[in-house]
Structure 1
Amino acid sequence: MVSTTEPQSPHADDDGGHEGGTRGRRRRRKNTGPGEVVRGTVRFFGEILLTSGLLMLFYAAYEVYGSQFETDREQQDLAQGLEENWAAVEEEPGPDSEPLPGAADSRLYVPGLDLDWVVVNGTEPDDILYSPGRYTWFDSGPGQEGNYAIAAHRTPGLFWDLDLLGDGDVMVLEDGENFYTYEVFQEETVLPQDSWVVDPDPFDDASDEDPERALLTLTTCAPKLNNTHRLIVWAELTETTPKSEGMPDSIAHMAPDAEE
């Protein structure tokens, strides 16, 4: 028997696709010519560069500002250790010995910046990671004749604003017995190899063996976020205040128990 049913078109859908419908049409191929490939490649590398740029920006921000939290934490630990060492020396003075690299040596106050730090021995990268460090090339302590020279990174929390100091500004060094007040008398930007700036007396070569002035020198990178030069600030001793008399007026507001 011959079937009278019309054969169903292979392109008809289950709903009985009708003429003029869209489901039975062929899909157009996506353009994958050279232009589209180039655009895709440029888009891919653009996203990579954008992501890399953001990561570098966040890293730079951390290097400048984020490390300040670590600096503050390390300074607190150093301050506690310094006070304990001073107390131990007062009770049982021990024999003189070579300064240990990275060990706390003094405290530096800069009232003009409303900042103070524990100063450690040495200026190697590990020594001054979170603290100012004193040059140990020459034997000179706080308040002594010679040059007590200190280096620190140009980062917030350390010597970031050192360029704001000028002639007449006051800085104070503290050791186990006294507060030593110094007054800034000169600032200069030099090259990294100019090591003469931390000599016993940078302004009188003839007195290097027997300096006649007590100097305090601060050094850091210049300009900010670069290390092509060094910013130098020199100060000279003007007053010595025994701790039994309390803190000098210039830093009295920076005492731990001072009212806010």
Structure 2
Amino acid sequence: MVSTTEPQSHHSDEDGGSEGRPRGRGRRRSRVRPGDVVRGTVRFFGEILLTAGLLMLFYAAYEVYGSQWETDREQQDLAQGLEDSWGAVEETGPDSEPLPGAADSRLYVPELDLDWVVVNGTEPDDILNSPGRYTWFDSAPGEEGNYAVAAHRTPGLFWDLDQLDDGDVMVVEDGENFYTYEVFEEETVLPQDSWVVDPDPFDDASDEDPERSLLTLTTCAPKLNNTHRLIVWAELTETTPKSEGMPDSIAHMAPDAEE
């Protein structure tokens, strides 16, 4: 009589089973629980959000600090163009209206240890990497009226404009003179308050014939936002011919003083 256990034992050996393996127990299959699916989904979207957050952080850092490299590069190009334009005016005299985006003057803020070439116009393309003067009114440095300048609230431009106080000085340079202005008032206004750059914001009656020589700086407020405008006003206190050298307030900012 043939034992019924022998064929079964032989079949088990062919399948790779061992003699000591309990019979009737096959390979266990893992079960997917609903909680595992939820945790996996949450983990997947969490990683996506983390990556997106890091990319946004890097982008914001570039917008704040990376743009300063572009500002420095453009300012170097504008500085050379400014010197060339002043030389051309001395030789031939002014014979045309200034072009938008063209260099107009140089602005020094010794309190912040910064200076810039100021261009004509305040359109987005004009002030992308430079301060730009408002051309709504016919104004020039040192003349009666309001030489008003706008710039973005970014490092390298008007980022620290809020640090200026009454009594601080700023200097504007043109082809002939250095004009020293003294800060006398700061205010935060709404974007539509365009009166801040009028020929005399403090005396409406003298808009057509202003009696003061003002310098006005405008930028966004608060930092990284544009809901308001920070305004700094200064009044002319001194005019120094370039033949006499730079005023003492900015002597340390001369190119040969950087060493």
Specify the TM-score bucket, using the shorter chain as the normaliser.
over 0.9
Shift of 1:93: 1.9
Of Structure 1 and Structure 2, which has the larger fraction of its residues in helix? 2
CA distance in 2, matches of 1:259, 1:225: 31
The aligned residue for residue 149 of structure 2 is: 150
Aligned partners of 1:106 and 1:120 also within 8 Å: yes
Say which SS state the counterpart of residue 138 (structure 2) adopts: coil
**1:1-260 pair list within 5 angstroms:** 7=7, 8-10=10-12, 12=14, 17-20=18-21, 26-95=26-95, 97-260=96-259
Q: TM-score, normalised by structure 1?
A: 0.92
Q: Which runs of 4+ in 1 moved over 4 A?
A: 10-14
Aligned partners of 1:12 and 1:18 also within 8 Å: no
Name the CA shift for 1:37/1:132 in 2 (closer, same or farther; >3 Å). same
Name the CA shift for 1:94/1:223 in 2 (closer, same or farther; >3 Å). closer
Say which SS state the counterpart of residue 74 (structure 2) adopts: helix
CA distance in 2, matches of 1:203, 1:94: 31
Say which SS state the counterpart of residue 11 (structure 2) adopts: coil
Say which SS state the counterpart of residue 37 (structure 1) adopts: helix
CA distance in 2, matches of 1:217, 1:139: 14
Aligned partners of 1:102 and 1:122 also within 8 Å: yes
CA shift digits 1:36-77 (9 cap, x unpaired): 111111111111111110001111111111111111011001
Bigger shift: residues 106-115 or 79-88: 79-88
Shift of 1:18: 3.5
Amino acid at match of 1:76: Q
Identity of aligned residues (%): 86
CA shift digits 1:204-243 (9 cap, x unpaired): 0000000000000000011111111100000000011111
Aligned partners of 2:12 and 2:18 also within 8 Å: no
Amino acid at match of 2:108: Y
CA distance in 2, matches of 1:242, 1:32: 85
CA distance in 2, matches of 1:50, 1:69: 28
Name the CA shift for 1:11/1:238 in 2 (closer, same or farther; >3 Å). farther
Say which SS state the counterpart of residue 215 (structure 1) adopts: strand
Shift of 1:152: 0.4
CA shift digits 1:125-182 (9 cap, x unpaired): 1111100000000000011110000000001000000000000000000001110000
CA distance in 2, matches of 1:29, 1:141: 85
CA distance in 1, matches of 2:39, 2:183: 61
CA distance in 1, matches of 2:172, 2:13: 93
CA distance in 2, matches of 1:54, 1:136: 41
**Number of residues paired by the alignment?**
253
Structure 2 residue ranges without an equivalent (≥5): none
CA distance in 1, matches of 2:207, 2:159: 30
Say which SS state the counterpart of residue 234 (structure 1) adopts: strand
Shift of 1:30: 2.6
CA distance in 2, matches of 1:62, 1:25: 62
Shift of 1:200: 0.2
